[in-house]
Amino acid sequence: MSDSKQVEIVELKHKTGKSSVSVSLFGATITSWKIFNTDMLWLSKKASLDGSRPIRGGIPIVFPQFGPGKLRQHGFARVSMWEHDSTTHDLQSGDCTAVFILKSNDTTRADWPHDFELQYQVQLGMTNLVTQLTCKNTGEAAFDFTALLHSYFPVSSIDEATIRGLYGLNYIDTIDENKVKTERDTLLTFKGEVDRIYKREVVTGADGRVRGNEVVFIGDGGNCDVGVKSVNFTDIVVWNPWAKKAEAMPDMEEDGWKHFVCVEAGSVSHPVKLGPGESWSAGQNLTLRILREAGEELARTSTGPRLDPLKPSGQ
Ligand code: TA6
């Protein structure tokens, strides 16, 4: 990856020494998450870490617009310099938490004329990683946005990658004229480009929280399975560009597309509406379920932060 003038990276290490996470202040992008020295996220070897373009891999933050539209693709959050607000350690569990802030400024207002404060909480457990995005409308007028955590998960080979937990969900197939279809496979496999927006069968409880189909499991066909539990996001995007689209990406390493799947918790099929002074919060809990080489030790010692009950969404 080209990092001639690398942007500051905040490193978190679990007290047990078994896990770590790295966050670039450019986009508050998580560029690395390791457990037992195994990479739990995929990062292109050609990713730019110098702030010259969005980071290809890890967990870029998409806000205030998912996809193409009036603003730049995926919005400005992932190409803005965030502030590292704090890092705290839980002496009992060994978990550590870092908080990053992005406030509206002249640059963001030139793109999107609203006042907001984004807070991004990154909580590292020994075998899990919780990331939670909170948006507060600090202006005088309501606004709409879409938001998503664009997580890239490594797989030994895309031919062996599987995703479980989507059965029965309706999805928008963006590579087939945005047709709405229903997932009929209990185990999703990859035979070509996939770019789908799955709508969680959501029930918005009396507390305003969104529930349903929280956990999706990614199997890499080999070493480890990861669970993606999302809270208060309404959708799950699944993406692999396959060969042709990948070749057109200057920051996609040779054959890189064969070694990741994106499973992205987000609220993208319908915008989130926030009135003045209102807040919205949503998050994901990424949990290592099986790391074959870690075997017994993992099973015995798995701990980690939970995704706190989120404040009701402003939706
Ligand atoms: O993952 C969903 C998606 O919207 C795809 O359509 C593809 O564009 C991908 O995001 C990557 O977008 P990027 O702007 O990072 O190349």
Residues 112-136 pLDDT 10s: 999 999 999 999 999 999 999 999 9
Rounded-to-10 torsion of CA 54, 58, 63, 67: 70
**Does pLDDT of 197 surpass 50?**
yes
Beta strands in 25-109 (DSSP E): 29-35, 38-39, 61-62, 83-89, 96-103
Q: What is the pLDDT of residue 208?
A: 67
Mean pLDDT score across all residues of the chain:
90
Beta strands in 37-164 (DSSP E): 38-39, 61-62, 83-89, 96-103, 116-124, 128-137, 143-149, 152-154, 162-164
Query: What separation in Å is there between the alpha carbon of 67 and the centre of ligand 1?
Result: 7
Pocket test for ligand 1, best of 74, 236, 249 (most atoms within 8 A of CB): 74
Q: What is the pLDDT of residue 309?
A: 44
Mean predicted confidence (pLDDT) in 175-202: 93
Distance CA 226, CA 216 (A): 8
Q: Residue holding tokens 């995703």?
A: 163
8 Å CB contact between 165 and 171: no
Buried b / exposed e across 228-248, counting CB within 10 Å, b at 16+?
bbbbbbbbbbbbbbbeeebee
- For residues 164 and 304, which has the higher predicted lDDT (pLDDT)? 164
- Residues with a known catalytic role: 150, 264
**Cβ(54) – ligand 1 distance below 6 Å:** yes
Distance CA 202, CA 182 (A): 15
8 Å CB contact between 158 and 261: yes
Least confident of 30-34, 207-211, 215-219: 207-211
Pocket test for ligand 1, best of 151, 238, 239, 262 (most atoms within 8 A of CB): 239
